[in-house]
Amino acid sequence: EVQMVESGGELVQPGGSLRLSCAASGFTLSSFEMNWVRQAPGKGLEWVSYISSSGTTIYYADSVKGRFTISRDNAKNSLYLQMNSLRVEDTALYYCARGWFDSWGLGTLVTVSS
């Protein structure tokens, strides 16, 4: 069974940093493109970042470019999102999603507040 479990979300002050992780199981991570998608409370879905299966191609939404870094460790079946210079508006449930979002984790909550 395909499963993805996100972790690392917590309450952080504006300007702070967090590293999110996504542990994948039930499929070979190295064969798939991966993404981070977020959803602010009561709002719609926002694509955050994409990484190719090999990690050589990466894209970011303009809202996070220069502050967030996506990476992956295929040997550990894991996806990561390093989040720096966090802002109040980054508060959201962060999902990892496979390919064209054909499978999703349950999400991890990031709250940026003083």
Partner 1 sequence: QSVLTQPPSASGTPGQRVTISCSGSSSNVGTKDVYWYQQLPGTAPKLLISRNNQRPSGVPDRFSGSKSGTSASLAISGLRSEDEADYYCATWDDSLRGRVFGGGTKLTVL
Residues 6+ apart with CB under 8 A from 18: 8, 9, 10, 12, 82, 83, 86, 110
Residue 42 CB, shortest distance to partner 1, in Å, is 11
Which positions from 88 through 107 interact with partner 1, judged by CB under 8 A? 95, 97, 100-107
* 8 A C-beta contact, residue 21 and residue 78: yes
Give the nearer residue to partner 1 in terms of CB position, either 91 or 103.
103
DSSP state at residue 32 = S
Give the nearer residue to partner 1 in terms of CB position, either 16 or 47.
47
Distance (Å, whole) CA 111 – CA 99: 26
Asked if 27 touches partner 1 (CB under 8 A), the answer is no
Question: In this chain, which of 10, 28, 59, 76 binds partner 1, going by CB under 8 A?
Answer: 59
What sign does the dihedral 88-9-81-52 (CA atoms) show?
negative
Residue 61 CB, shortest distance to partner 1, in Å, is 6
Question: In this chain, which of 8, 23, 30, 46 binds partner 1, going by CB under 8 A?
Answer: 46
Percentages of the chain per state (helix, strand, coil), in multiples of 5: 10, 50, 40
Asked if 44 touches partner 1 (CB under 8 A), the answer is yes
Residues that bind partner 1 (CB under 8 A): 35, 37, 44-47, 50, 59-62, 95, 97, 100-107
